[in-house]
Chain A
Amino acid sequence: MIPPSFGYSAPSSLPEALKLLAQHGDEAKILAGGHSLLPMMKFRFAEPGHLIDLNRVDELKGIREEGGLIVIGAMTSESDLIASKLLTQKLPLLAETALQIADPQVRNRGTIGGDIAHGDPGNDHPAIMLVLDATFVLSGPKGERSVPASKFFHGTYMTDLQASEILKEIRIQPFAAKTGYAYCKLKRKTGDWASAAAAVVLTMSGDKVSTLRIALTNLAATAIRAEAAEADLQGRPLSDANIDAAAKAAMAICDPAADLRGDVEYKTAMAGEMVKRAIRLAATRCR
């Protein structure tokens, strides 16, 4: 399996990358980790005329704290998310998620920005971005703009990112003390996409839910927030009955595609199960 011929540039700065993007127009594709794009090219499903490789753009890499926010460069690898002490302290959900993606070698290459910008409903970061209420900073010819995660994912392989833009970084409010979190992903084997997965961020006030966000992976055309399920638990204790009700509410919004991982009924049921598991696991971490 061989990709078709293409031109290749490896800019060393974001402005240079944007310029190249403008120059090559529709012919161009951004190359991040390459573990989605290169296989698509080897299958000849994608035949871009020019690749702009962001791997040498250092300003797009790394994790820092800035103005009370955690800022993650789009070209930060999954392995770097896992290894980051800052994330372990302030946003441990990211490492927990990254560890469930692909395998060690692929995680060395795959980037958080690529995972988000690809728009694949099977990718894991979009649901995480929804529960973290992340903001994406997009750089384009006219400068930067910020888009909340909730407005970014339009459909399968469709996002708010314009052809002339590059996802620069992701900005996230760090967890407040005693924030519970979990990403529960059911998969057939290592490296697989989710049969169903649920991300949860939770804080409690006494024995009642104070804040709760739930999002689902691979259960619709994009990652989706389960708002009705969140509302079901708002201000309520995490009893089995309440959790079951929330899981049912989450299942109600699922619209998965049947495939070798399971049919619609199974995936929907597993969405409920993953929501339950994620809530329970998050609750144990609210202390």
Chain B
Amino acid sequence: MNASITERQAALMGMGDSRLRKEDARFIQGKGNYVDDIKMPGMLHMAIVRSPFAHARIKGINKAKALAIPGVLAVLTADDLKPLKLHWMPTLAGDVQAVLADAKVHFQMQEVAVVIAEDRYIADDAVQAVEVEYEELPAVVDPHKALLPEAPVLREDLAGKSEGAHGKRYHPNHIFTWEAGDQAAADAALAKAEVKVEQKMFYPRVHPCPLETCGCVASFDPIRGELTTYMTSQAPHVVRTVVSMLSGIPESKVRIISPDIGGGFGNKVPIYPGYVCAIVASIVLGRPVKWVEDRIENISSTGFARDYHMSGELAATKDGKITGLKVNVIADHGAFDSCADPSKFPAGMFHICTGSYAIPSAYCRVDGVYTNKAPGGVAYRCSFRVTEAVYLIERMVDVLAQKLNLDKAEIRARNFIRKEQFPYKSALGFEYDSGDYHTALKKVLDAVDYKGLRAEQAAKRADPKSPTLMGIGLVSFTEVVGAGPSKICDILGVGMFDSCEIRVHPTGSAIARMGTISQGQGHQTTYAQIIATELGLPSEVIQVEEGDTSTAPYGLGTYGSRSTPVAGAAIAMASRKIHAKAKKIAAHLLEVSENDLDWEIDRFKVKGNDAKFKTMKDVAWAAYHQPPAGMEPGLEAVHYYDPPNFTFPFGIYLCVVDISKATGETAIRRFYALDDCGTRINPMIIEGQIHGGLTEGFAVAMGQLLSFDEQGNIQGNTLMDYFLPTMVETPRWETDHTVTPSPHHPIGAKGVAESPHVGSIPTFTSAVVDAFAHLGVTHMEMPHTSARVWKQLQASGVACE
């Protein structure tokens, strides 16, 4: 009857507990509620007419045949949206994007018209019946060619604008130049370097490809003047603000609901023309309108990631101490700059590219460029452009190690920011919160018997009859997540805080509402665990809700690993406000002063007297019926958390590959991932997130690619060609961890879901290149498909004949 401290602790299922997921019950019974599951009375269906050309003028659109199909209610084009001033819309990056192509199409599969019909079958038929006359124009698919003086002008709507949202544009196809660091210092370091290396690398265009595509159900109630839209959005509150600004409907009458979301990975952050058209159609027709894209539309037209042409230079001493870094990037943003980055950072957090290393001088410059490709540049399971940055620095360090004939573990250890240097101010302007890279590296090297692996590799290299090449990849990455301090980070002027509102009910259960939205991360489970530990109430009785802008407090959403660093902190802070009030009530009930109380797991007890206590549950009841005189009844709190800094999770990954000399096939023999995400809230969920991130990283490194031919035709936009690995191809993952809490986060947590994606991709490249390192190869471009690796085998003269 008197539960022990351990039992009471366990009963909470709080932080650190591998609590099973609260959300699973509905998913395993087929009762999830995804956008396409939503049906409303009188609901219509919208489908999109898309351009077959990458660059063309629209000479005319004939709707007649489509409108003649029974069941077709409307066909809308840019001309129909013009009177509403909705044929163009602002992007999060300060550009404008055509909602429906206005006189010209800028990429293949661009939205040209929409049809609205009684059911989705008729809508699809009508799409085929809309006749569009095009005059094809030369397409520009290479961003370098886009910047040539003679290149065709892609964005005629920007004619004469030499200033963009981020300063000067030096060419009609140039979007912005963004710089960080000290160019003179970096140049000086390079000029007097004992050793210099330079490497160009292309991080190809890929797509996040969540299993659920994007879509919405828009429903405008003309009597009440209210707009409700269910949407696959990772940021519903921002969407509401934008929709209100565009439509003129007061924000209080716009309700955006993100129901269950079938994976996001950054793809569901932007606002797409389909959403806008469905909303307009619902307003015009007075009936709910559903739009759900198919897979080809998803891959071809919604937010892609990467497409960075990077070139790096490292300066170093002869013993491998890095003295300077210089980076130049040509960033292909496609037809419109619709990147979803904090407003002041058109290249996101790319300036994390000094990595885990104490590099005294650094400079980076990114130039954004328009091409005839789909717009995007989203953070595909990473913080903004961090994947690109980590890839760059990790490749550069490997290249330098090869030049100096230093082991890649050794060169990293020599350059790591040391534990005692934190908080560490990087040359490109970040203040790293905490880290212990040396300990993590040693742990990994010991776990895999690194020396043994190198010995085995040396033996294989010495044996010309070996049917395989063996490669060892090693990466030590540092992420920057949890955007972000609102003094520097905002989306359309709204600071990137996040929020939590907690109400504790009289009987000791509670509800928490959040500004974030889970897409599989398990927020309903983990957020409740934070509250459980903070308030001493079992997580089982804590309900977590998010995604409905009418009930949840304003938040910036879930992407860039910001849920735990920002919203997780908001939960702790809101809990602490409640805790403070609860303490006053407990003191009142126990007739002692607050100073005489100790908090223990689930109760306030009088110091030195274990028998005299009030549990949080007791306090909750009292808060509603006998609060101290002068105190407001109730037990609830709201907190908007504006983080003082980003958090900096890190990890050490090691991969062993065996490459067939006959076919170029790469077998992943071993992948060991050590992550440090600070305080661990739910180890089971962390492990699951890491498995998933590693698998997505594997897909990117080994097979994903959105390529285009010279005419701008996208290649391989179905799941036949676009590489999503099955169980058969996916490696077996080994995971490990260290714990270095963030000193500025209320519970010390840093965020984890994106680290494995960011960290694994350069690890695979490092391993594949390492297999060829003894042959003088320093870099190979992704994706490392068998065909490409075989070309290297041929070039290096080691392919089996």
User: Chain A residues in contact with chain B, CB under 8 A?
Assistant: 1-2, 4-5, 44, 103, 186, 188-192, 195, 244, 260-263, 266, 269-270, 273
Contacts and interface: CB of A to CB of B under 8 A. Distances in A.
A1 B296 contact: yes
A186 B663 contact: yes
A189 B787 contact: no
B723 A189 contact: yes
A263 B664 CA distance: 14
B125 interface: yes
Contacts of B715: 260
A-B residue pairs, 5 tightest by C-beta:
A262-B787, A2-B124, A190-B726, A266-B787, A190-B728
Given A188-B703, A270-B663, A2 B726 contact: no
Contacts of A2: 120-121, 124-125
Given A2-B121, A189-B726, A260 B790 contact: no
Contacts, number: 57
Interface string B718-749: 00110101101100000000000000000000
Contacts of A186: 663, 665, 786
A2 B125 CA distance: 8
B785 A188 contact: yes
22 contacts: A2-B120, A2-B121, A2-B124, A188-B786, A189-B703, A189-B725, A191-B720, A191-B726, A192-B720, A195-B787, A244-B801, A260-B707, A260-B715, A260-B716, A260-B721, A261-B787, A262-B790, A266-B790, A269-B790, A273-B662, A273-B663, A273-B800
Contacts of B295: 1
If over half of B's interface residues share one DSSP class (helix, strand or loop), that class is named, otherwise mixed; here it is loop
B669 interface: no
A5 to B, nearest CB: 8
Given A191-B726, A244-B801, A266-B790, A1 B125 contact: no
B212 to A, nearest CB: 15
Given A2-B125, A190-B728, A261-B787, 12 more contacts: A1-B294, A2-B121, A4-B128, A44-B128, A103-B726, A186-B663, A190-B729, A244-B801, A260-B716, A262-B790, A263-B787, A270-B663
Contacts of B774: none
Contacts of B120: 2
B729 A266 contact: no
A270 B716 CA distance: 21
A190 B726 CA distance: 7
A269 B793 CA distance: 12
A191 B724 CA distance: 11
Contacts of B707: 260
Interface in B780-801: 785-787, 790-791, 799-801
A20 B791 CA distance: 52
Nearest to B47: A2
Interface in B544-591: none
Contacts of B294: 1
Nearest to B699: A189
A2 B122 CA distance: 9
Contacts of A269: 790, 799
Given A189-B703, A189-B729, A190-B728, A195 B786 contact: yes
Nearest to B123: A2
A2 B726 CA distance: 26
Contacts of A190: 726, 728-729
B728 A188 contact: no
Contacts of A261: 787
Q: What band does the interface of chain B fall in when counting residues whose beta carbon is under 8 Å from A?
A: 20 to 34
A266 B729 CA distance: 21
B662 to A, nearest CB: 5
A270 B664 CA distance: 10
A239 to B, nearest CB: 15
Contacts of B662: 273
Contacts of A244: 801
Contacts of A195: 786-787
Contacts of A189: 703, 723, 725-726, 728-729
A262 to B, nearest CB: 4
A191 B800 CA distance: 27
A261 B707 CA distance: 13
A42 to B, nearest CB: 9
B657 to A, nearest CB: 17
Contacts of B128: 4, 44
Contacts of A192: 720
A192 B703 CA distance: 13
Contacts of B703: 188-189
Contacts of B663: 186, 270, 273
Nearest to A277: B662
Nearest to A187: B786
A96 to B, nearest CB: 17
Q: Which of B662, B721, B729, B787 has the most A CB atoms < 10 Å from its CB?
A: B787
B125 A4 contact: yes
A53 B798 CA distance: 52
Nearest to B790: A266
A269 B799 CA distance: 10
Contacts of B723: 188-189
Q: Which of B120, B295, B716, B786 has the most A CB atoms < 10 Å from its CB?
A: B786
A1 B128 CA distance: 12
Interface in B750-801: 785-787, 790-791, 799-801
A263 B791 CA distance: 10
Contacts of B121: 2
Contacts of B665: 186
A254 B12 CA distance: 67
A260 B791 CA distance: 14
A263 to B, nearest CB: 7
A103 B786 CA distance: 21
B791 A266 contact: yes
A260 B790 CA distance: 14
A244 B801 CA distance: 8
Contacts of B801: 244
A121 to B, nearest CB: 15
Nearest to A273: B662
A186 to B, nearest CB: 6
B47 to A, nearest CB: 9
Contacts of B716: 260
A195 B703 CA distance: 14
Contacts of A5: 125
B19 to A, nearest CB: 34
Nearest to A270: B663
A286 to B, nearest CB: 23
Nearest to B724: A189
A260 B120 CA distance: 32
A1 B719 CA distance: 14
A250 B294 CA distance: 41
Q: Which of A186, A189, A263 has the most B CB atoms < 10 Å from its CB?
A: A189
A147 B800 CA distance: 40
Contacts of B729: 189-190
Nearest to B721: A260
A260 B708 CA distance: 11
A137 B707 CA distance: 43
A24 to B, nearest CB: 21
Contacts of A263: 787
Interface in B277-301: 294-296
A189 B699 CA distance: 11
A103 B703 CA distance: 19
Contacts of A266: 664, 787, 790-791
B743 to A, nearest CB: 44
A151 to B, nearest CB: 31
A192 B720 CA distance: 7
A70 B799 CA distance: 42
A191 B728 CA distance: 11
Nearest to A258: B787
B667 to A, nearest CB: 14
A1 B123 CA distance: 10
Q: Which of A103, A262, A269 has the most B CB atoms < 10 Å from its CB?
A: A269
Nearest to B128: A44
